[in-house]
A and B are shown apart, each in its own frame.
Chain A
Amino acid sequence: MINNMDLSLVDWSRAQFALTAIYHWIFVPLTLGLSLIIAIMESIYVKTGNEEFKRMTKFWMTLFGINFALGVATGIILEFEFGTNWSSYSWFVGDIFGAPLAIEGIFAFFLESTFVAVMFFGWNKVSKKFHLASTWLVSIGANLSALWILVANGWMQNPVGMIFNPDTMRNEMVDFWAVLFNPSAIDKFTHTVFSGFLLGSVFVIGISSWFLLKKREPQLFRHSILISSIVGLVSSFLVAYTGDSSAKTMSKVQPVKFAAMEAHYYGKTNADLTAIGILKKSGSQIEDKEILDFAFRIKIPGFLSILTGGNTSTYVPGLYDLVLGPDSIKGIIPVFEKMNRGKFALNVLTDYKRGVMINDTQQVNLIRKEYFGNRDFMNEAFRYFGYGYLGKPSDAIPNVALSFYSFHVMVIIGGFLIALCILSLFFALRDSIEKHKWFIYISIISIPLTYLSSMAGWVLAEAGRQPWIIQDLMPVSRGVTQINTGSVIATFIIFAVLFTALLIAEISIMLKQIKNGPTPQEDKK
């Protein structure tokens, strides 16, 4: 039971994983976006032979390289932390989760690491076309690596394509395609990759604007802005579209998370969407969890129902309904009922393991036939296995304020970025960016805002699905490695100090390289 676990160990293990993931995510979206923009710039160079585009490519490639190294370094930690800090989880899901990670290594990482060497060192050693192909392959490799890790993450949000094996005590894959084309995985991949393209575009627009402000290399950076504005605008619309799709999927497979991100407590039809809101305590509670109300709210009437089901008559359940009932609403099984089913499933499993241990073949065969071989039991009870570990129904509610604010920060900044890309493209096409100083400043400020939005999206994705490490099957507390908390605190501190020091170095190097600007025009390489 959750109450029996060492919660400080769980919290420190979560903190360490969150720390690594956050640092990793500082670097990855820029790698995804910048690699695409660089490939486009180099394509123009190869097509036109215009040396300016070669200098442009090399300049952005230098920044790519600085960013890439730390992304790689933090990435390896994430992969191995599944084993070091979440070993129980690793066994429980390794049969499914490990496969996408291995495919990522074989197909994506080798592609990326092989051709990144050609990209950086091959300018004078291979033909123009070979070099261009290498640059595109780096971009493809980077984005492919995102695919496989997000397939794994999508499976954690919506476990599909597997059955539980009571003999091995783990989930085992039975349908690879169901895992690959899991709607949560598709949404995660497309939304994440397009958001990376958008971040890369805003990065290029912002840095280029600074050069225009300083009146350095105006022609080169005007062209940089034009290219990245096109990429950014297309990406921003795709981010919005895939975000919508992601929310629809979430409303079906993670309704508690969906309700939490809107601070939606009581189910209704014609439910309103909160555009902007500030939360306050309401004074009432769901068990020990405070119900939050709005101190300030701008809402879009009926839009939450439309977002969920396409029309205002769609019923959107709230947190209260999802956790405590009422069970009269068709299709909703409240958490307390899922807990009963989960506990029943756990008891059956315990009896089975006891039978195996004492070699009681009759009991083992009986349980196998009546329960694990019974589709009704697996669908009606065992799929809620994880709820059996919860202490009380409200344990299923994530941090509502964190989910709400992270969602709204992401969406508001996302809307702002669509406007930024439209304006940027408009001014770039009219060749008039320098005339609008206000826009130049906004472009520069947009860089940290885009990172904030990107981070907020992941906070929602991961904090919003608590208490689950695998939705409905395993709470976070059951997945943790049982080691002494002191070891985890020590490694947390080591990683925090190291990552922060390296981030400071990266930012310093990046700023210096930006200040130095592209190689001079007389470069004859």
Chain B
Amino acid sequence: MTAMITYSFLQHYWWIIISLLAGLLVFLMFVQGGQAIIFTLPENNDQKRMMINALGRKWEFTFTTLVTFGAATFASFPLFYSTSFGGAYWVWTAVLLSFIVQAIAYEYRSKPANVFGQKTYDIFLLVNGIAGPFLIGTAVGTFFTGADFSLNNMNNVKWGSGWHGLEAFTDPRNISLGLAVSLLSVTNGLLYLINTIDDPALFSRARKKMIIYSSCFLAAFLFFVTTLLLSDGLNFGRNDGRIVVEDFKYLHNFLQMPAILVIFLLGVVMVLTGIILAIFYRSRKGIWLTGPGTVITVFALFLIAAFNNTSFYPSLTNFRNSLTIHNASSSFFTLKVMMYVSFAIPAVFAYIWFAWKAINSKNITSAEMDKEDHLY
């Protein structure tokens, strides 16, 4: 076992953990997806109240996963953390701003004397619901399309564009991933609400909305995947460290790592099946397929971004500064310590599942809202 734990093994292991966290984050952004439609989905205040309370009981999971994703990246790939966060300043700041307003909106919106009025807090939820997934998706797009940075001999970042990350919005591939993540979040949000709230009228409206959102999601996702498979990428030599452009790099990655291709296709099929079940078979259980499908699809995309000697953060200014899991990672010792820490993650999942089931054993109804004494 100890002989197996090489530096390269740990670097791959930690990228797998990061990829898993990314998958979970995108799935848990169903909360943001639900927020994006709080003004358009419910027909009346009763439905809106149920909807916001159904989402509000889960917002902290998304938030905590985002924080843990950031912290795990800092711990395992600090050069990425310092380069991307320091350079793409405005994109990450915008993400943070959208999450700050979400954190307080649930708790404050229905409280008396909240100064700004309920509508303001609902707008905060809407802003986070639209901007959060879109910005994160667009930022992740640069894992494939690259960013305008260089590093000096102290590994300090210099960003080439004065827009500090906002220039990512000029690349249609980044935009399409941002849109795909946003629209998938709304689709997942609709599926979650269908599964959680016991209200036939809301169910019916959610199904109709889902046809539109899931179709748009598919269009954006197909555009992104097609352009990705046709794109070149950066390949680094494991022996000489040379970084060269490789045509169809991501297509090659799928073909050279068929297990990841299978995971990716399985994820896509699960996402589509969940949507089809909800739309055509009026099933309430679609989220149980689409949710895990989202996790493993994103997981596979992250793996092809970095495995097979691929640069997961290409530098458009200087190829030699591009980041790989080998040159951006923490030391062997730190990755090893963190690996032992990560063994506790299944226990964390177990108690989350246990607690989630305990308070979600019954669907949310209008009657329950009348009885509940902690309402959003």
Minimum C-beta distance from B30 to chain A (A): 16
Q: Which residue of B lies closest to A71 (CB)?
A: B103
Picked from B67, B100, B374, the residue with its CB within 8 Å of the CB of A121 is B374
Minimum C-beta distance from A37 to chain B (A): 19
Contact with B along A139-161 (1 / 0, CB 8 A): 00000000000000000000000
Task: Tell me the residues in window 467-525 of chain A with beta carbons closer than 8 Å to chain B beta carbons.
Answer: 481-484, 487, 491, 494, 498, 501-502, 504-506, 508-509, 511-513, 516, 519, 525
User: Given A72-B103, A494-B97, A79–B64 Cβ distance below 8 Å?
Assistant: no
Instruction: Judge if A176 is at the interface, Cβ distance under 8 Å.
Output: yes
Picked from A72, A85, A101, A165, the residue with its CB within 8 Å of the CB of B331 is A165
Residues of chain A within 8 A (CB-CB) of B331 are 95, 165, 168, 172-173
Cβ–Cβ contact A79 & B85, under 8 A: no
Cβ–Cβ contact B74 & A482, under 8 A: no
Q: Which residue of B lies closest to A85 (CB)?
A: B86
Contact with A along B142-160 (1 / 0, CB 8 A): 0000000000011111110
Q: Which residue of B lies closest to A120 (CB)?
A: B374
- Main SS of chain A's interface residues? helix
Bound-complex Cα distance A77 to B67 (A) = 10
Cβ–Cβ contact B104 & A84, under 8 A: no
Cβ–Cβ contact B330 & A95, under 8 A: yes
Minimum C-beta distance from A204 to chain B (A): 20
Q: Which residue of A lies closest to B157 (CB)?
A: A87
User: Given A90-B82, A110-B64, A168–B155 Cβ distance below 8 Å?
Assistant: yes
Instruction: Judge if A130 is at the interface, Cβ distance under 8 Å.
Output: yes
Residues of chain A within 8 A (CB-CB) of B153 are 169, 353, 357
User: Given A113-B64, A481-B157, A83–B85 Cβ distance below 8 Å?
Assistant: yes
User: Given A94-B81, A105-B67, A117–B74 Cβ distance below 8 Å?
Assistant: no
Task: Tell me the residues in window 261-278 of chain A with beta carbons closer than 8 Å to chain B beta carbons.
Answer: none
Residues of chain B within 8 A (CB-CB) of A121 are 57, 359, 372, 374
Instruction: Judge if A98 is at the interface, Cβ distance under 8 Å.
Output: yes
Q: Which residue of B lies closest to A113 (CB)?
A: B60
Instruction: Judge if B3 is at the interface, Cβ distance under 8 Å.
Output: no
Cβ–Cβ contact B373 & A512, under 8 A: no
Picked from B58, B81, B106, B344, the residue with its CB within 8 Å of the CB of A90 is B81
Instruction: Judge if A456 is at the interface, Cβ distance under 8 Å.
Output: no
Minimum C-beta distance from B251 to chain A (A): 32
Cβ–Cβ contact B358 & A482, under 8 A: no
Instruction: Judge if B1 is at the interface, Cβ distance under 8 Å.
Output: no
Contact with A along B95-131 (1 / 0, CB 8 A): 0110111011011100111111000000000000000
Cβ–Cβ contact B355 & A83, under 8 A: no
Task: Tell me the residues in window 319-363 of chain B with beta carbons closer than 8 Å to chain A beta carbons.
Answer: 330-331, 333-334, 337-338, 341-342, 344-345, 348, 351-352, 355-356, 358-359, 361-362
Picked from B71, B83, B351, B356, the residue with its CB within 8 Å of the CB of A102 is B71
Residues of chain A within 8 A (CB-CB) of B173 are none
Minimum C-beta distance from B203 to chain A (A): 22
Residues of chain A within 8 A (CB-CB) of B89 are 84, 481, 483, 487, 491
Cβ–Cβ contact A102 & B113, under 8 A: no
Residues of chain B within 8 A (CB-CB) of A86 are 86
Instruction: Judge if B61 is at the interface, Cβ distance under 8 Å.
Output: yes
User: Given A94-B74, A104-B71, A107-B344, A126–B359 Cβ distance below 8 Å?
Assistant: yes
Cβ–Cβ contact B82 & A105, under 8 A: no
Cβ–Cβ contact A505 & B115, under 8 A: yes
Residues of chain B within 8 A (CB-CB) of A123 are 373-374
Bound-complex Cα distance A74 to B75 (A) = 21
Instruction: Judge if A76 is at the interface, Cβ distance under 8 Å.
Output: yes
Bound-complex Cα distance A516 to B102 (A) = 26
Cβ–Cβ contact B79 & A102, under 8 A: no
Instruction: Judge if B70 is at the interface, Cβ distance under 8 Å.
Output: yes
Bound-complex Cα distance A181 to B211 (A) = 56
Bound-complex Cα distance A80 to B372 (A) = 36
9-residue interface stretch from A62-70, A189-197, A432-440: A62-70
Instruction: Judge if A109 is at the interface, Cβ distance under 8 Å.
Output: yes
Instruction: Judge if A125 is at the interface, Cβ distance under 8 Å.
Output: yes
Residues of chain B within 8 A (CB-CB) of A125 are 358-359, 361-362
Bound-complex Cα distance A176 to B74 (A) = 17
Cβ–Cβ contact B374 & A482, under 8 A: no
Cβ–Cβ contact B106 & A508, under 8 A: no
Bound-complex Cα distance A525 to B83 (A) = 53
Instruction: Judge if B90 is at the interface, Cβ distance under 8 Å.
Output: yes
Residues of chain B within 8 A (CB-CB) of A481 are 86-87, 89, 157
Cβ–Cβ contact B60 & A90, under 8 A: no
Q: Which residue of A lies closest to B87 (CB)?
A: A87
Cβ–Cβ contact B342 & A106, under 8 A: yes
Residues of chain A within 8 A (CB-CB) of B84 are 83
Cβ–Cβ contact A83 & B92, under 8 A: yes
Cβ–Cβ contact B81 & A83, under 8 A: yes
Instruction: Judge if A91 is at the interface, Cβ distance under 8 Å.
Output: yes
- Main SS of chain B's interface residues? helix
Instruction: Judge if A182 is at the interface, Cβ distance under 8 Å.
Output: no
Instruction: Judge if B135 is at the interface, Cβ distance under 8 Å.
Output: no
Bound-complex Cα distance A511 to B115 (A) = 12
Bound-complex Cα distance A525 to B370 (A) = 13
Cβ–Cβ contact B103 & A94, under 8 A: no
Cβ–Cβ contact B334 & A99, under 8 A: yes
Residues of chain A within 8 A (CB-CB) of B86 are 83-88, 90, 481, 483
User: Given A84-B92, A173-B337, A70–B67 Cβ distance below 8 Å?
Assistant: no
Bound-complex Cα distance A165 to B155 (A) = 13
User: Given A70-B103, A77-B96, A121-B372, A106–B157 Cβ distance below 8 Å?
Assistant: no
Q: Which residue of B lies closest to A87 (CB)?
A: B86
Bound-complex Cα distance A103 to B58 (A) = 22
Bound-complex Cα distance A361 to B269 (A) = 54
Residues of chain A within 8 A (CB-CB) of B371 are 124, 525
Bound-complex Cα distance A114 to B106 (A) = 16
Q: Which residue of A lies closest to B79 (CB)?
A: A91
Residues of chain A within 8 A (CB-CB) of B99 are 73, 76
Q: Which residue of A lies closest to B340 (CB)?
A: A176
Minimum C-beta distance from B318 to chain A (A): 14
Contact with A along B46-61 (1 / 0, CB 8 A): 0000000000011011
Cβ–Cβ contact B71 & A482, under 8 A: no
Instruction: Judge if B164 is at the interface, Cβ distance under 8 Å.
Output: yes
Minimum C-beta distance from B73 to chain A (A): 8
Instruction: Judge if B66 is at the interface, Cβ distance under 8 Å.
Output: yes
Instruction: Judge if B316 is at the interface, Cβ distance under 8 Å.
Output: no
Minimum C-beta distance from B162 to chain A (A): 7
Q: Which residue of A lies closest to B124 (CB)?
A: A502
Q: Known pairs A110-B348, A509-B111, A509-B114. 20 more at Cβ < 8 A? A: A69-B108, A76-B100, A84-B93, A86-B86, A87-B85, A91-B156, A95-B330, A98-B75, A102-B72, A102-B76, A103-B341, A106-B342, A111-B351, A125-B359, A125-B362, A168-B331, A357-B153, A482-B156, A483-B159, A487-B90
Q: Which 4 A-B pairs have the closest CB atoms?
A: A94-B78, A87-B86, A83-B85, A98-B75
List 26 A-B pairs, Cβ < 8 Å.
A69-B106, A73-B99, A79-B71, A80-B92, A80-B96, A82-B74, A87-B82, A87-B86, A88-B157, A90-B82, A94-B81, A95-B331, A98-B330, A101-B71, A102-B72, A106-B72, A109-B64, A110-B352, A118-B355, A122-B359, A126-B358, A482-B157, A491-B89, A494-B97, A509-B111, A509-B113
